[in-house]
Chain A
Amino acid sequence: MGELLLIFISAGLVNNIVLTHMLGVDPLIATSKKNGAAADTCLFMISTMPVVTAITYLFDFYLFSRFIADYMQLTATVMLIVITVLVNGLILQRLLPQLFLRIEKIIPLMLVNSTLLGVVLFENNHINSFISALLYGLGSAMGFSLVLMMFVSIRKRLNHPDIPRPFQGVAILFITLGLLSMGFLGLSGITLAR
């Protein structure tokens, strides 16, 4: 139980996909302009990431690592991710049509996204059971959403000050992201008290 909690926190905060691994910076910057788009991206991540990590874990563990040569595993994983995202979309459309309406615009952009692929590839290092794969995905999605929502609010505040010319636009966003990343560095080294 404690280990599962640790996996969740580690995926969300300590090894945050954006701030520690620097993956998925592009969706972060692209969708953080407006609250609505950012919320849609968060919903997509939270509803898709756990499914993707769990299913890729199963396939990887039982099929890919046994039957497919090393150099083809990445290709197989990418194809599996795409299929999973699409099928997940179909299921969501049946079960939660309201949610699907919000995320349908993002699906084409996120199909082969560095965020999803990155989480799936990092997953191999940490995970040893189905449940923990699910939790790892959920944690990563929550961590991404946390950073995205923080970034949206920071970006709103960035409208106020007089930013010097050379730093205007994307430059100040990257600097902000770097500072955030340094802040998250303080979370590293969390262990369970015994």
Chain B
Amino acid sequence: MIGITLIVILFAGLVGTLRLYEHLNLINQSDNQTGRIVEHIDNLLPQTQCGQCHFDGCRPYAAAIASGRANIDQCPPGGQHTIRAIADLLGQETRLPSHQTQHELPPMVARIDEDLCIGCVKCIQACPVDAIVGAPKQMHTVIDQYCTGCELCLPPCPVNCISMDLLPSHSPVKIENKPQPGRYEMPCIGCGDCFKACPVDLMPQELFRYSRIDNFLESREKNLFDCIECDDCSKVCPSHIPLLDYFKYAKSQIVAREHQHEQASLARGRMQARNQRILTNKQRRHVQNVTQNTADNSKQDDKLTYIQEAVSRTLKKRADKPNLYQGNND
């Protein structure tokens, strides 16, 4: 009997404490937390708004990932490192092999053949980041700086005058190739000769390890950018590892990613501005329509009163001259 009472009391206590937690909002913050997670995922996405993930843009895709409706590997423009970053954020295992880098397409921009353009404004309406300037029946052109390479302007063009092009060479990003293991290159034996040779007291051995597996965050923390590229470490290396090539590769990748991140925040800003503009335009048009309608209505009211006045006036006239009609009737 006491035992049953104890268990009932325990159960009541369990339910009670859970209720208390719910009441104090300590555990049930799931909505709030998913909101924050969406924000974090959105920050990692490239913001091309291209819809290649089959969602309307980067933000909806981020929301879909957060709620488990989408996989993390549906973003082609983001490439492999985006997948890895999202996997890190969500604590998922990356399915890609960590030691291979897939060949990724270089960043592209849209280019309008200005001789062919007929000025139909269809591409301007399609562009999610307002990177195309032009007016109806005027020539259009693309602003390279703002174009995200999403290819959304290609299908609407009626004369096929838009094509994708490589970024012009004056862009700040030049990506070095990852060194392929050469004929003489052997595994690092950890002898520490490179460390002794380095004139700026870096640890080339560690930097090499992190750069080789594309762990750029870590290699940056080990002061990769202090490297003066003197090439002393590669010369002393008994395993003939082209250390400098690896460092150059890592540096260019880091710079490229930072650039990409900047571009992404720029694109996000422009997309939000565009959406805001469309919204305000819509509202303004709505307000205009409403005022116009009321104006029309009042005009009609005027007309009605005018007619009624006229009718009443004629009726009055009739009342004044009854004889006239009576005479006719006779």
Contacts and interface: CB of A to CB of B under 8 A. Distances in A.
B6 A63 contact: yes
B35 interface: no
Interface of A: 30, 33, 63-64, 67-69, 72, 75-76, 79-80, 82-83, 86-87, 89-90, 93, 104, 107-108, 159-160, 162, 165, 168-170
Interface stretch (B20-28, B124-132, B170-178): B20-28
A76 B14 CA distance: 11
Nearest to B94: A169
B66 to A, nearest CB: 16
Given A76-B6, A104-B26, A83 B14 contact: yes
Nearest to A162: B99
Interface string B1-29: 01100110011011001101100101100
Given A67-B6, A68-B7, A169 B93 contact: yes
Contact of A76 (B10, B20, B97): B10
Q: Is the interface of B mostly helix, strand, loop or mixed?
A: helix
B101 to A, nearest CB: 15
Nearest to B99: A162
B3 A86 contact: no
B6 A108 contact: no
Which has the most chain A C-beta neighbours within 10 Å: B3, B88, B93?
B3
A40 to B, nearest CB: 13
Given A80-B10, A104-B26, A159-B215, A68 B99 contact: no
Given A64-B6, A90-B17, A104-B27, 6 more contacts: A83-B17, A90-B21, A93-B26, A162-B99, A165-B97, A168-B97
Given A68-B6, A69-B3, A93-B26, A160 B209 contact: yes
A86 to B, nearest CB: 4
B98 interface: yes
A86 B7 contact: no
20 contacts: A30-B91, A33-B91, A68-B3, A68-B7, A69-B3, A72-B3, A79-B10, A79-B13, A79-B14, A80-B10, A82-B14, A82-B17, A89-B21, A89-B26, A90-B20, A90-B24, A93-B26, A104-B27, A159-B213, A160-B209
A31 to B, nearest CB: 9
Contact of B7 (A30, A76, A89): A76
A122 B6 CA distance: 23
B87 to A, nearest CB: 10
A168 B93 CA distance: 11
Interface in B81-101: 88, 91, 93, 97-99
A75 to B, nearest CB: 7
A76 B6 CA distance: 8
Given A67-B3, A90-B20, A79 B11 contact: yes
Contact of A168 (B7, B10, B27, B98): B98
Contacts of A64: 6
A178 B289 CA distance: 74
Contact of B17 (A75, A86, A108): A86
Contacts of A159: 213, 215
A108 B18 CA distance: 11
A72 B7 contact: yes
A68 B99 CA distance: 57
Which has the most chain B C-beta neighbours within 10 Å: A79, A82, A168?
A79
A67 B13 contact: no
B5 to A, nearest CB: 9
B33 to A, nearest CB: 9
Contacts of B3: 67-69, 72
- Which 8 pairs between the two chains have the least Cβ-Cβ distance? A68-B3, A86-B17, A67-B2, A67-B3, A79-B10, A160-B209, A83-B13, A79-B14
